[in-house]
């Protein structure tokens, strides 16, 4: 029996390749450090039944039109804003993501960023390496306390919840804003619901964990930043476009907020011309929220399992558009 053909848009961990090779004939973009060029992807997909994608690939109407046999787009990420979900559903294409496996790793990175930003770790490291450490003095590289501070979580889904659990270890007061109330977590973790504006006014740390959608684009803009305390820190490990970067830059330069920790940017990879990178009170990371060895392997194998299910007539475990499933 001939195996279904699939295309993989990047070199992926061996364990995931093995899962795919067991059930499919695959072709792959063999590079790790460069995304597949769009024209190559457009050439590769007309004959395949499934495609394994990363968040660097834009899966839009044009691509779907060029892929009449594709049944599934298996995205190796929990977020799928790179995929036009409505267009996929219109084309009868299933879309899957990799939820759950990266929750704790991303929450760890969120806390690492929060601590690094609050306590100016990168600045301190530079200060030492540049030979500027001549003596100890009372207000040298002083930051903000994390222990006992108020954390405002925007988006109390899986990752937001995992961040709230970590915050308890730091005796933080946890406020949250979410589409719907999480009374289970209010009881269990003592998290308190606040309308967004109130959360922004009260929090010492604001951490964003909401998905990117048209209604969340620039959720944090000039007006919202103006509500925050001058000592407050903004952390974003979700998607860059949730924050209006120009407004954030101005708020940071004018010291209307204290600092920002960013793992994601409006345009990625971030340009070195981005003025945020010139600011000492910004800690910037290259979208590494889920980047532990174990988690990235789990994400790849999860996406591989989804892909194989989709091209072999089974319902993939992590289908985000049930409309795409033809049963």
**Where does this chain bind ligand GLV (CB under 6 A)?**
55, 77-79, 102, 289-290
Work out the number of other CB atoms within 10 angstroms of the CB of residue 116: 20
Nearest residue (CB) to ligand GLV, 247 versus 320:
320
Cα–Cα distance, 227 to 214 (Å, whole number): 22
Can 287 be counted among the known catalytic residues? yes
Report, in Å, the least distance between residue 317 CB and ligand GLV. Answer: 16
Alpha-carbon distance of 18 to 20, in angstroms, equals: 5
How many CA atoms lie less than 13 Å away from 11 in the CB half-sphere? 5
Q: How far is Cα 227 from Cα 125, in angstroms, rounded to an integer?
A: 31
Per the annotation, the verdict on 239 as an active-site residue is yes
CA distance 182 to 156: 8
Q: Which is nearer to ligand GLV, 102 or 227 (CB)?
A: 102
The catalytically annotated residue of 10, 91, 287, 296 is 287
Q: Which of 18, 61, 188, 268 is catalytic?
A: 268
CB of 223 to ligand GLV, least distance (A): 27
Beta strands in the chain (DSSP E): 5-8, 25-28, 50-53, 72-75, 94-96, 150-154, 173-177, 192-193, 205-208, 233-236, 259-262, 282-284
Judged by beta carbon, residue 106 or residue 150, the one nearer ligand GLV is 106
By beta-carbon proximity to ligand GLV, the closer residue of 45 and 55 is: 55
Q: Which is nearer to ligand GLV, 97 or 281 (CB)?
A: 97
Query: Least distance to ligand GLV from the beta carbon of 311, Å?
Result: 22
Let me know if 268 is a catalytic residue: yes
Q: Which two tokens stand for residue 263?
A: 């793992």
CB of 53 to ligand GLV, least distance (A): 12
Chain centre distance of CA 54: 12
Give me the sheet containing 50-53, strands edge to edge. Answer: 25-28, 5-8, 50-53, 72-75, 94-96
Name the minimum Å distance from CB 128 to ligand GLV: 32
Give the residue with the Cβ less far from ligand GLV, 250 or 288.
Answer: 288
Rounded Cα distance, 220 and 199, in Å: 12
Tokens for 234? 């903004």
Catalytic residue (one of 239, 245, 266, 296):
239
Helix boundaries (H) for 170-217: 183-189, 196-202
**What's the CA gap between 248 and 254, in Å, rounded?**
10
Minimal distance in Å, beta carbon 158 to ligand GLV? Answer: 11
What 3-state class would DSSP assign to 310?
helix
* Residues assigned a catalytic role: 239, 268, 287
């Amino acid at each position: 029996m001939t195996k279904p053909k699939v295309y993989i848009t990047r070199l992926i961990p061996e364990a995931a390749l093995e899962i795919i090779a067991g059930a499919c004939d695959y072709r792959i973009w063999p590079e790790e450090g460069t995304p597949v060029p769009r024209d190559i992807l457009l050439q590769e997909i007309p004959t395949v039944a499934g495609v394994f994608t990363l968040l660097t690939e834009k899966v839009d109407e044009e691509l779907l039109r060029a892929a009449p046999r594709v049944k599934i787009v298996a995205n190796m990420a929990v977020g799928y804003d790179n995929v036009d979900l409505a267009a996929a559903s219109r084309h009868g294409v299933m879309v899957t993501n990799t939820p759950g496996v990266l929750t704790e790793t991303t929450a760890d990175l969120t806390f690492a960023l929060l601590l690094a930003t609050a306590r100016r770790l990168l600045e301190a490291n530079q200060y030492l390496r540049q030979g500027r450490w001549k003596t100890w003095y009372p207000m040298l590289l002083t930051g903000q306390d994390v222990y006992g501070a108020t954390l405002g979580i925007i988006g109390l889904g899986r990752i937001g919840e995992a961040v709230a659990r970590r915050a308890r270890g730091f005796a933080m007061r946890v406020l949250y804003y979410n589409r719907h109330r999480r009374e289970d977590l209010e009881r269990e973790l003592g998290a308190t619901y606040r309308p967004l504006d109130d959360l922004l006014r009260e929090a010492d740390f604001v951490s964003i964990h909401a998905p990117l959608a048209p209604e969340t684009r620039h959720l944090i803009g000039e007006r919202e930043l103006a509500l925050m305390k001058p000592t407050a820190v903004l952390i974003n490990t979700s998607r860059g476009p949730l924050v209006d970067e120009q407004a954030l830059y101005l708020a940071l330069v004018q010291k209307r907020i204290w600092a920002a920790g960013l793992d994601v940017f409006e345009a990625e990879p971030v340009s070195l011309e981005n003025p945020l990178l010139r600011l000492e009170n910004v800690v910037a990371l290259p979208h590494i929220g889920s980047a532990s060895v174990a988690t990235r392997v789990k994400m790849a194998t999860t996406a591989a399992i989804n892909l194989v299910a989709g091209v072999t007539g089974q319902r993939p475990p992590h289908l985000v558009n049930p409309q795409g499933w033809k049963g």
